[in-house]
């Protein structure tokens, strides 16, 4: 291929504006976080260099850190468990519904709304009966009064209520991705399989599933990485409360940094979050590629 001969300055003009902005907004802050993470600093007064003390405290002396880690990974697990169900729905819609596109668009509606709206809406649904919460009203109206809860105010169940809303919102997203994948499998393959006697679930077993693996993988990676970074839903619905019972890594970092003014400690948490995201993105991609190879 003949590549255009361009003057040197053109390269700079095309690349530098974006690159400089990107480095200043994304990389400089991360490096700054790594640095502030080694300080004892409230953000305004005198700062003191403390080395890895913040990290030590985080890993060994912080009663809220490990539960937040556990909740973050549970978030990821919950989001990933939803995806096989989305695939199943995609296959069923593709087979039994003529204009499935419209239905998929309907399922997709919650995805385009702001988490602020979704979170507030579900907060209202989870409200105690005295405040008109729909979930409790529904339970009472079918005679399950004993199942009524103050959902988001109860430390033991609040986080599961939040997981559920995330699954609810992103159901349409993963369904859409799987559905598009299923639709892109050429129909000739199914016709050929039909002649060979493979139809319905047998065709799924030998055609749909092997061919959808790359798309399925994409959904899993997106769900996993998205959950590691989960923040908004928790923040809008509970703010990490009651008493840190719904904190995930990102919300705990935010509370420490902005509400408790522990800038050094918050930065150490932020740095850890960045490292965790980078490491796990690489890990999950490697794992998925291994699985991919086994199937192809």
1-60: contacts with other proteins (CB under 8 A): 1-4, 6-7, 10-11, 13-15, 17-19, 21-30, 32-33, 36, 43
Smallest gap, in angstroms, from Cβ of residue 261 to other proteins?
11
- Among 59, 69, 74, 125, indicate the residue that binds other proteins (CB under 8 A): 125
- Among 55, 64, 73, 108, indicate the residue that binds other proteins (CB under 8 A): 108
Answer yes or no whether residue 224 interacts with other proteins by CB under 8 A: no
- Among 131, 144, 192, 287, indicate the residue that binds other proteins (CB under 8 A): 131
Smallest gap, in angstroms, from Cβ of residue 128 to other proteins?
11
- Among 161, 245, 271, 288, indicate the residue that binds other proteins (CB under 8 A): 271
Three-class DSSP category at 235: helix
Site residues (CB under 8 A) for other proteins, limited to 188-217: 200, 215
Answer yes or no whether residue 278 interacts with other proteins by CB under 8 A: yes
Smallest gap, in angstroms, from Cβ of residue 101 to other proteins?
7
Q: Strands 48-49, 39-40: parallel, antiparallel or unpaired by DSSP? A: antiparallel
Q: Where are the alpha helices (DSSP H) in 100-203?
A: 100-112, 115-126, 134-141, 155-183, 187-195, 200-203
The CB density around residue 44, as the number of other CB atoms within 10 Å, is: 8
Answer yes or no whether residue 113 interacts with other proteins by CB under 8 A: yes
Torsion of CA 288, 223, 252, 24, to 10 degrees: 80
User: How far apart are alpha carbons 204 and 193 in whole angstroms?
Assistant: 10
Site residues (CB under 8 A) for other proteins, limited to 61-100: 89, 92-93, 96-97
Nearer to other proteins, 198 or 277 (CB): 277
Binding segment toward other proteins, per CB under 8 A, in 45-53, 65-73, 147-155, 172-180:
172-180
Nearer to other proteins, 50 or 173 (CB): 173
What's the distance, CA 116 to chain centroid?
Answer: 16
Smallest gap, in angstroms, from Cβ of residue 93 to other proteins?
7
Site residues (CB under 8 A) for other proteins, limited to 251-270: 253-254, 257-258, 263, 266-267, 270
Give CA separation, 203 vs 185, 192, 248, in Å: 12, 10, 41
Smallest Cα–Cα separation from 221: which of 90, 110, 83? Answer: 83
Torsion of CA 81, 87, 92, 94, to 10 degrees: 160
Smallest gap, in angstroms, from Cβ of residue 19 to other proteins?
6
Nearer to other proteins, 156 or 197 (CB): 197
If binding means CB under 8 A, how many residues of this protein chain bind other proteins?
97
Contact 166, 223 (CB under 8 A): no
Please report the DSSP string for 97-117 in residue order: -TTHHHHHHHHHHHHHS-HHH
Smallest gap, in angstroms, from Cβ of residue 187 to other proteins?
19
Smallest Cα–Cα separation from 189: which of 210, 175, 174, 219? Answer: 210
């Amino acid at each position: 291929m003949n590549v255009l001969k361009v003057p040197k300055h053109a390269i700079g003009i095309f690349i530098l504006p974006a690159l400089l902005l990107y480095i200043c907004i994304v990389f400089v802050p991360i490096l700054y976080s790594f640095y502030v993470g080694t300080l004892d600093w409230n953000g305004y007064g005198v700062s003191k260099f403390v080395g890895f003390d913040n990290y030590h405290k985080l890993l060994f002396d912080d009663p809220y850190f490990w539960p937040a880690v556990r909740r973050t990974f549970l978030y990821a697990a919950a989001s990933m468990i939803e995806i096989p169900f989305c695939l199943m729905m995609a296959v069923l819609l593709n087979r039994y519904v003529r204009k499935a596109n419209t239905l998929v668009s309907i399922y997709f509606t919650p995805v385009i709304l702001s988490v602020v709206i979704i979170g507030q809406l579900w907060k209202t649904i989870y409200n105690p009966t005295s405040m008109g919460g729909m979930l409790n009203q529904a339970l009472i109206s079918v005679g399950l009064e004993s199942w009524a809860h103050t959902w988001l105010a109860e430390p033991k169940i609040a986080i599961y209520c939040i997981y559920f809303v995330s699954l609810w919102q992103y159901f349409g997203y993963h369904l859409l991705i799987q559905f598009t994948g299923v639709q892109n499998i050429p129909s000739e393959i199914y016709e050929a399989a039909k002649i060979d006697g493979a139809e319905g679930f047998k065709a799924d077993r030998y055609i749909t599933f092997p061919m959808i693996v790359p798309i399925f993988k994409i959904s899993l990676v997106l769900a996993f990485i998205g959950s590691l970074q989960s923040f908004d839903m928790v923040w809008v619905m509970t703010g990490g409360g009651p008493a840190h019972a719904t904190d995930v890594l990102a919300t705990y970092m935010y509370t420490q940094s902005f509400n408790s003014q522990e800038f050094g400690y918050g930065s150490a948490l932020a740095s850890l979050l960045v490292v965790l995201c980078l490491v796990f993105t690489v890990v999950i991609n490697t794992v998925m590629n291994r699985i991919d190879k086994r199937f192809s």
